[in-house]
Amino acid sequence: MIDVQNLFFSYTDAPPWVLKSLDLLVQKGEYISVVGDNGSGKSTLMRLLLGFLRPTRGHVHVGTKNIGYVPQRRDAMIDHGFPITLKESLTAYRRLKSLSAESVSDVLNLIRMDQMSDHLMGNLSGGQQQKVLIGRALLGRPDLLILDEPSTGIDQASQKEIYALLLDISKKIGTTIVSVEHNLEAAVTNSTKIYHLHGGSGHMCSPEQYRDEYLTKG
Amino acid sequence: MFQYQFMQNALIASLIIAVLSPCIGIFLVLRRQAMIGDALSHASLAGVTLGLLYGQNPVLSAFLFTAVSGALIEYLRATFRRFSELILAIVLALGVGTAITVISSGRLTTNADQFLFGSILTVTTLDLYMIIGLAFLSFIMLTLLYNQLLYITYDSDAAQLAGVRVRLINYAFAVLVASVVSMMIRIVGVMVISTLLTLPVATAMQLGKGFKKTLLWSIVFSVIELIAGLILAFYLNVAPGGFTALLAVFVLMVVLIGKRVLANRQRRKAESV
């Protein structure tokens, strides 16, 4: 699904590199969590996968154009008084993607928010807003779902609900998931593999390996 | 008063502007670009003065100059990514510089002051046809681009991922803003164009509705303010632009106070239960 080879990236097209000599291979149906310290290049890698940035050197291949994207809640306009209802935000998006009207009701059922469709996005709780962003990304049943810190700023109960939803999508529908994670516990529990970014380079490991190498050693 | 041809022209033009301006204004306000209306209204004055200088229709020349300025704003956005307020200073300098140079050259045979403050008397039948034509094209563009504009404004990354050509739509939007600004210059004048693009939207946003309802309420406020402003300006013998701006501020204050009173009443009711 994703094949990244010898990727170098810098915002100035010259060293120092944000990402250097990076390789990443993601198979269809995998659930990958991308972890690393602040400034390790997680969000940059995500934007390269989404096609918002171009590699300075190397090769990024994503095997589908049907990609769902869940931005960080603070990057979306939700909390800035934007006057838009839950249903409006989904309906306008499904029109952009030329999808049927039923796709919106399907997604509302999936995220269990069909009774709240006329609520303003800004009046929803953090967890509810995040579920709507996931629901929007799922419109058109994407082959690949990319998430940027899906649990940041969200209460524990909503986090559980969100990760249960992601696992459900991954296992039942077989959607490939790449999630930039700050929540290491969730990364270890939910992912099939973990991609650890450090100093602009990365390596793939199993959740068990990651827990043993990085979490238990503190 | 509507037996006069000039008042009929002014009324039709005001109605068109009142409906169109919030349709553009809502995107400007939500993109935090309310001041672009101000920069482009000054650019439209430059277009007017150039039109008058070369004996062309001022609404058309205002549209052309404003459209080029709008496109320039989009072009400069990539260059001044981190200092976007500089873009407005550049466009403002271009517009005001051109207008002042032309006006002060003494080569204009028509008084350009009427475009600064707006005037009921100046909407000719040819202007009206021009406004109707531009409005028709603007409505078609708005209808076609509605979802794209909404999503670029709401979440530009998501729009891009859905296949929207963000840069191209932003250029089209700049032309739309230019079109509406050049229509407004006759009636309301340069000085208050941005006020009327944004204040009805700001008022409607206080009602806490979704996007479509906020847009509809913006149009309602805009129509009430512009038509009341036009009629009262006729009887008070003042420029309609300035008076309409005052009305817009007044309506916003009434809605803000009403909202506060309602919230207090609800709070007291909840406390008593």
Single-letter amino acid code for the residue at A122: G
Mean pLDDT estimate for chain A: 89
Q: Binning pLDDT at 50, 70 and 90, where does residue B122 land? A: confident
Helix (H, G, I), strand (E, B) or coil at A206: coil
Average pLDDT over residues B69-76: 90
Do the beta carbons of residue A126 and residue A155 sit within 8 Å? yes
CA dist list (Å): B104 to A105, B60, B107, B112:
62, 22, 8, 11
Report yes or no: B155 at the A interface, CB cutoff 8 Å.
yes
- What pLDDT is recorded for position A9? 95
| pLDDT above 70 for A75 | no
Share of chain B above pLDDT 70, in %: 99
Do the beta carbons of residue A64 and residue A174 sit within 8 Å? no
Average pLDDT over residues A151-174: 88
Element (H, E) at B135: helix B125-154
Please report the number of interchain residue pairs, chain A to chain B, with beta-carbon separation below 8 angstroms. Answer: 62
Residues of B in contact with A92 (CB under 8 A): 147, 150-151, 154
Tokens 């499904």 — which residue?
A94
Mean pLDDT estimate for chain B: 89
Both tokens of A87, joined, read 């249903």
CB pair distance less than 8 Å for B158 and A97: no
Residues belonging to chain B: 273
Whole-angstrom distance between the N-terminal and C-terminal Cα of chain A?
33
Gyration radius of chain A's alpha carbons: 17
Helix (H, G, I), strand (E, B) or coil at A196: strand
Enumerate residues 168 to 207 of chain A having a beta carbon within 8 A of any beta carbon in chain B.
Answer: none
Single-letter amino acid code for the residue at B36: I
Q: Binning pLDDT at 50, 70 and 90, where does residue B139 land? A: very high
Residues of B in contact with A101 (CB under 8 A): none
Helix axes A102-110, A86-96, angle to 10 degrees: 130
Residue B210 CA to residue B229 CA, distance in Å, equals 28
| Domains of chain B, residue spans | 5-272
Higher-confidence position of A43 and A216:
A43
Q: Binning pLDDT at 50, 70 and 90, where does residue B187 land? A: confident
> Which one of A58-62, A69-73, B12-16, B119-123 scores highest in mean pLDDT?
A58-62
Single-letter amino acid code for the residue at B14: S
Residues of A in contact with B211 (CB under 8 A): 83-85, 88
Q: What is the pLDDT of residues B157-167, one digit of tens each?
A: 899 999 999 99
Instruction: Work out whether the CA dihedral A160, A162, A168, A171 comes out positive or negative.
Output: negative
Report yes or no: A85 at the B interface, CB cutoff 8 Å.
yes
| pLDDT above 60 for A168 | yes
Higher-confidence position of B224 and B192:
B224
Average pLDDT over residues B45-72: 91
Cis peptide before A16 (omega within 30 of 0): yes
Do the beta carbons of residue A139 and residue A104 sit within 8 Å? yes
Q: CA of A139: which chain B residue's CA is closest?
A: B162
Its pTM stands at: 0.87
Residue A36, sorted as left (phi over 0), alpha (psi -120 to 50) or beta, turns out to be left
CB pair distance less than 8 Å for B210 and A88: yes
- What pLDDT is recorded for position B84? 77
Higher-confidence position of A75 and A69:
A69
CA-nearest of B60, B31, B70, B43 to B193 is B43
The DSSP-derived string for A73-109 is: TTTSSGGGT---BHHHHHHHHHHHTT--THHHHHHHH
Do the beta carbons of residue B157 and residue A69 sit within 8 Å? yes
Domain formed by B5-272, architecture:
Orthogonal Bundle (1.10)
Three-state secondary structure string covering A54-77? CCCEEEEEECCCCEEEECCCCCCC
> Which one of A199-213, B66-80, B180-194, B253-267 scores highest in mean pLDDT?
B253-267
Q: Binning pLDDT at 50, 70 and 90, where does residue A74 land? A: low
Do the beta carbons of residue A120 and residue A90 sit within 8 Å? no
- What pLDDT is recorded for position A76? 58
Question: What ipTM is given for this predicted complex?
Answer: 0.83
Enumerate residues 216 to 245 of chain B having a beta carbon within 8 A of any beta carbon in chain A.
Answer: none
Element (H, E) at B10: helix B5-30
Q: What is the pLDDT of residues B211-255, one digit of tens each?
A: 999 999 999 999 999 999 888 988 898 888 888 999 999 999 999
- What pLDDT is recorded for position B197? 92
CB pair distance less than 8 Å for A92 and B147: yes
Strands A201-205 and A57-62: unpaired
Average pLDDT over residues B19-29: 94
Whole-angstrom distance between the N-terminal and C-terminal Cα of chain B?
54
Residues of A in contact with B208 (CB under 8 A): 83, 120
Q: Which domains occur in chain A, in start order? A: 2-184 (3.40.50.300)
| pLDDT above 80 for B1 | no
Higher-confidence position of B252 and B42:
B252
Report yes or no: A71 at the B interface, CB cutoff 8 Å.
yes
- What pLDDT is recorded for position A214? 77
| pLDDT above 80 for A218 | no
Q: Binning pLDDT at 50, 70 and 90, where does residue A77 land? A: low
Residues of B in contact with A52 (CB under 8 A): 157, 160
Average pLDDT over residues A134-139: 92
| pLDDT above 80 for B3 | no
Average pLDDT over residues A185-208: 91
Question: How open is the CA angle A6-A206-A137, to the nearest 5 degrees?
Answer: 75
